[in-house]
Amino acid sequence: MISVHEAHGIISASVPISKTKRISLSEAAGKVLSAEVVATVDIPNFSQSSMDGYALRYEDKDINLSVIGEMAAGTSCQLVIRPGQATRIFTGAPLPEGADTVVMQEKVKCSGNTLSIQDEQFTSGMNVRAKGSEIKQGETAMVPDTLLTPAAIGFLAGIGCHEVEVYYPPDVTIILTGNELQQPGNPLRFGQVYEANSFQLKAVLHQVGISNIRVRTAEDDPKKLQEVLSAALAESDLVLLNGGVSVGDYDFVVQAAEACGITKKIHKIRQKPGKPLFFGIMGDKMVFGLPGNPSSSLTCFYEYVLPALEQWMRHDSHLKKIKATVTHDYSKPSGLTHFLKAFYQDGKVTPLHAQESFRLHSFARANAFIVLPEESTGCSAGDWVKVHVLPG
């Protein structure tokens, strides 16, 4: 067995070079740029009013002006104003030729087609968005490794960008092993349990921006598992096996992985839950063998698979690592790192009931892990402890 720290180092060193792909902006939300975006035009592409009001030449501010025509947003007709003239204008509309300033409609006095300015703070260029004031043609709009948030997507759309190059998420196959599994919605026969792992793993994969997910099933038979695993490796970049990673008579994951040409990097980690965790690689593909118990499987996903995916996709960590004061005592023997299901709020963290590896009830309420290192024998109420806050 190896330590948790050693396992993280092995996995991190094995993550393949990130894939890149050019995709439409409409499907880019949540992904990370792999190439810079350069503006192809000035934005705005014309001098634009930022207010409803009147466009004029600033040098005419002290005289009565004759109002001619109007400019609305989206107009394709250009007006020309001459000395002593002004034009009614609306937010987003282009300035007429000859105008350089806009006065707010609340700051004028109108009589028929004549207006005078009633603004003591009026300045040249006021209420005008100059051509290229957002960004100029040829300027860098966004640099690589930028997360494409909704605002980033909006900004890129606003400068006319319709495609971006991103670090593309891996294709994932989840393989369920175990003859005892039954799908929710069907009656349980003697000896069966409802299958939960594919549901929770798909949910957390979607949460971090991965949608191309397949689910395969394999009987507790080494040859059949090898066939399913081989097919999964052909179609995916990442394979998540569930169950069959221990040393029981029906645990065939390690055997099937070796038969498929996967190089074993990790089999057991000094931790609880999830001691029998398998990790291997084949070329630029990664394979994790997660424990079959749903609580152990999800814990190992958060602690090992999620960081590997984030490194692969160049994402910031979804698993926030902080320190907090623990509200209750918890004792454990030294020798294994413990990941305790916990609830974190306002700087305090509470270990939850039902810490057993097969229990999901408390996990459904948990929003964090308390991490007690292998040399620790537990914690006392009021102690500072390491906490991994789970993605919401």
CATH number of 4-17+169-313: 3.40.980.10
- Neighbouring C-beta atoms of residue 206, cutoff 10 Å: 11
Convert the pLDDT of each residue in 225-254 to its tens digit.
999 999 999 999 999 999 877 655 557 888
Residue 197 banded pLDDT, cuts 50, 70, 90: very high
CATH architecture of the domain with range 20-42+133-167: Alpha-Beta Complex (3.90)
Pick the closest to residue 26 from 131, 113, 147, 154 (CA basis).
Answer: 154
8 A C-beta contact, residue 174 and residue 204: no
Identity of residue 110: C
Give 48-129's CATH code, choosing from 2.170.190.11, 3.10.129.10, 3.30.2350.10, 3.40.720.10: 2.170.190.11
pLDDT in tens, 61-95: 999 999 999 999 999 889 999 999 999 999 999 99
Domain with CATH 3.40.980.10 in the chain: 4-17+169-313
Percent of the chain with pLDDT over 90: 87
Amino acid 79: pLDDT: 95
Strand extents, DSSP E, 255-313: 263-266, 271-272, 278-282, 285-290
Burial call 109-145: b when 16+ CB within 10 Å, e when fewer:
eeeeeebebeeeebeeebbbbebbebbeeeeebbeee
Q: What is the pLDDT of residues 105-137, one digit of tens each?
A: 999 999 999 999 999 999 999 999 999 999 999
Confidence (pLDDT) at 201: 97
Per the prediction, the chain carries an average pLDDT of 94
pLDDT for 360 equals 86
235, 175 contact by CB (below 8 A)? no
What pLDDT is stored for residue 352 in this prediction? 95
Cα(311)–Cα(13) distance, integer angstroms: 10
* Lowest model confidence (mean pLDDT) among 3-17, 325-339, 343-357, 371-385: 343-357
The predicted pLDDT at position 247 comes to: 59
Instruction: State pTM to two decimals.
Output: 0.83
358: pLDDT strictly greater than 80? no
